[in-house]
Amino acid sequence: MDLRLRAPLDMHLHLREGAMLELVAPLSAHSFAAAVVMPNLVPVVDTLERLSDYRAKIEAATAPHTFTPLMTLFFRPYDEAMLAAMRPYIIGIKLYPEGVTTNTADGVRDLLRIEPTLAAMERLGIPLLVHGESHGFVLDREAEFLQIYARWASRFPRLTIVMEHITTAAALRLLDQYANLAATVTLHHLLLTLDDLAGGLLSPHLFCKPIVKRPEDRAALLEAALRAHPRLMFGSDSAPHPVERKEAANCAAGIFSAPVILPLLAELFAQHDALAQLQAFVSDNARAIYGLTPPAKTVTLARRPWQVPARYGEVVPFYAGQTLEWQVVDVQAN
C-alpha cells in the first residue's frame, strides 16, 4: 500500500553550518516541505543580517528541492521596535535557558526579568519557542520547568508558547490546561526510553537533550501523537554531530534522525492502525497553530524494505544499518 502525505513539516530542526549544513540539509529538504530552523549556532542567530545570511546558505544547500526554511531568532531582550522589524522574516523566537544544551552559553539566565520582551512579542503576535528545562536532576528538568510555562501561559494569554520536544506525561497534562500552549515531540521520544540509552552498554548515538525518559512518559507521548492531539506537532530535533563528537568521553547531545523520519513514523503509526492520523501530526496541526501555508509538496511512502546507511558522511544516523519496512518512493511539487 502507498501512503501520501501533503506538505510534511518538521517543526524543530538543526541544520548547522558549513560542510555539515551542505551534508544534512538536503536530506530534510527532500521529504519535507518546510522546517523550523534552530538558531543556536556559533555565533547565534540574533540579528537580521545573521538571519538573512543563514537563510541564504540553507536555500543554496537545499536547491533544487521544494523546501522553505522557517527561521527563528535566538532569544534576547529585544526592544519592540527591533521585534517589529524582524517579524516578517521569522516564525518565532527560540528561548534557551543559559547552558541548557548545545551552544547555549548565551541563553537566558533570569527567566523572570525577560517578561517585558514576552509582552512585546504578545502584542506583535510573535510565537515563543522554548527549550523548557531547568538545571536540576536530569530526569526532572522538564518537570521543573513546567511552572514557568504555566506562569507565562497565564500572564500572556495571547502569546503562542511552543513547548519544544516535550518528553513527559506531565507536559501533556499542562498542554491541556492552557489554550495558548502548543508542543512539538520528536520521533526518538516516541520510540525510546532511558533503558535504550543506558540500560546495557551506553549508546552514545541515542544521547540527546532533553534525555529520553521513562516507559510511561513514552506511552503518553505516543498515545497523544497517534490520536493527533490538535496542539501537538512533529518536530524532529534532528541534530547531527560528527562521529568523533558522539563516540567520545564528552559525548555531544543530539540524534540525527533526518534520513529516517517519515519511514519510521509510517511504520510506527501503521503498527497502531493510526496511519489516518499521520497527516495531521506531521503537517495539519502545525499549519493551524502557526497559520502556515507551506509549499505544495506530496510525499509518497510505500511498504518497501530498505537498509539505513551506516553513515552519512561523518554522521551516524538513527537506526544506522537497520532495515526499515517503509521508504519514501516519490516526491512531487504540485
Torsions phi, psi of 332, nearest 5?
-130, 130
**How many other C-beta atoms can be found within 10 angstroms of the C-beta atom of residue 48?**
15
End-to-end, the C-alpha distance of the chain in Å comes to 22
Q: How far apart are CA 160 and CA 225, in angstroms?
A: 20
Identify the residue whose cell numbers are 518497501.
304
Identify the residue whose cell numbers are 527567566.
111
CB 48 within 8 A of CB 69: no
329 within domain boundaries: no
166 within domain boundaries: yes
303 within domain boundaries: no
Please tell me the predicted confidence (pLDDT) of residue 329. Answer: 98
Q: Tell me the CA distances in angstroms from 40 to 61, 88, 139, 156, 173, one per residue in order.
A: 19, 20, 23, 25, 28
Comparing CA positions, the residue from 234, 281, 328, 228 lying closest to residue 2 is 328
320 within domain boundaries: no
Joined together, the cell numbers standing for residue 61 give: 544547500
**How many other C-beta atoms can be found within 10 angstroms of the C-beta atom of residue 327?**
17
Please tell me the predicted confidence (pLDDT) of residue 1. Answer: 76
CB 17 within 8 A of CB 41: yes
Please identify every residue annotated as catalytic. 237
Joined together, the cell numbers standing for residue 2 give: 502507498
Please tell me the predicted confidence (pLDDT) of residue 334. Answer: 79
Q: How far apart are CA 226 and CA 268, in angstroms?
A: 9
19 within domain boundaries: yes
Q: Would you call the peptide bond into 43 cis, given omega within 30 degrees of 0 as the criterion? A: yes
324 within domain boundaries: no
115 within domain boundaries: yes
Number of domains in the chain: 1
The per-residue pLDDT string of the chain (334 residues; one tens digit each, 9 = 90 and over) reads 799 999 999 999 999 999 999 999 999 999 999 999 999 999 999 999 999 999 999 999 999 999 999 999 999 999 999 999 999 999 999 999 999 999 999 999 999 999 999 999 999 999 999 999 999 999 999 999 999 999 999 999 999 999 999 999 999 999 999 999 999 999 999 999 999 999 999 999 999 999 999 999 999 999 999 999 999 999 999 999 999 999 999 999 999 999 999 999 999 999 999 999 999 999 999 999 999 999 999 999 999 999 999 999 999 999 999 999 999 999 999 7
CATH number at residue 177: 3.20.20.140
Strand, coil or helix: what is 159?
coil
CB 279 within 8 A of CB 295: no
181 within domain boundaries: yes
Q: What is the pTM of this model?
A: 0.97
Which residue range forms the structural domain that includes residue 210?
Answer: 8-293
